[in-house]
A and B are shown apart, each in its own frame.
Chain A
Amino acid sequence: GAVVSQHPSRVICKSGTSVKIECRSLDFQATTMFWYRQFPKQSLMLMATSNEGSKATYEQGVEKDKFLINHASLTLSTLTVTSAHPEDSSFYICSAREPGNEQFFGPGTRLTVL
């Protein structure tokens, strides 16, 4: 199957700093990528849909100014958590959808904000 990479896999930062997470589709072009977040013992919850060359679509309750998404190319989407706070500590995972409808996931990023 297709490969999606995500970097970094783990990050620990101080409160107030910004953290950028990269999601790359390595062997296919993804016009759409998705960003999910998972809190302990909860489902993967969709945060936003990232569309190449246009603004991301955010789910209700997700602050677009706090979670900046950029999808500048067909193989890269970035999620920046701005001015991170301890409540932003979570597991963030991206996915990319092939034109044939299969959806592939990155390995995720564990963010811990101190």
Chain B
Amino acid sequence: ILNVEQSPQSLHVQEGDSTNFTCSFPSSNFYALHWYRWETAKSPEALFVMTLNGDEKKKGRISATLNTKEGYSYLYIKGSQPEDSATYLCAMDRQAGTALIFGKGTTLSVSS
């Protein structure tokens, strides 16, 4: 059974705080790691796709890193804003074109 684990399950931060979440995955049979941002009543929005060990991706105040050897990825949000409030999902690809294996998500709440 392949498990993708995310921590923490939820967290609450103040506007302006920087924060990070963890995604751990089995390092065997790894093809790619995806991060999604999911707001209530909307489609999950793709943030990053990473495939290579040591990959780092950045989009505005959000960035992510990947360590395929030890099986983890970090998502960082710098200077959190209320609009960053959402559930952040990570998902693993075992091979190209297949379905993703998801973690349970980290729900972020940012207070102004």
- Residues of chain A touching chain B, judged by Cβ–Cβ distance below 8 Å, are 1, 4, 9, 32, 34, 36, 41-46, 49, 93, 95, 97, 101-108
Contact = CB atoms under 8 A, between A and B. Distances in A.
B104 A41 contact: yes
B41 A1 contact: no
Contact of B46 (A46, A104, A106): A104
Contacts, number: 49
Nearest to B36: A105
B110 interface: no
B99 to A, nearest CB: 5
Contact of A4 (B43, B89, B97): B43
Nearest to B42: A107
Main secondary structure of the interface of B (DSSP, over half): loop
Contact of B102 (A43, A49, A108): A43
B73 to A, nearest CB: 16
Given A1-B46, A42-B104, A44-B102, A101 B97 contact: yes
B21 to A, nearest CB: 15
A102 B103 contact: no
Contact of A44 (B32, B45, B89, B97): B89
Given A45-B102, A46-B99, A95-B99, 13 more contacts: A32-B97, A34-B99, A34-B100, A36-B99, A43-B104, A44-B89, A46-B100, A49-B98, A102-B49, A105-B36, A107-B41, A107-B42, A107-B43
B4 A43 contact: yes
Contacts of A107: 41-43
B7 to A, nearest CB: 13
Interface string B21-62: 000000000001010100001111110010000000000000
Contact of B99 (A1, A4, A41, A49): A49
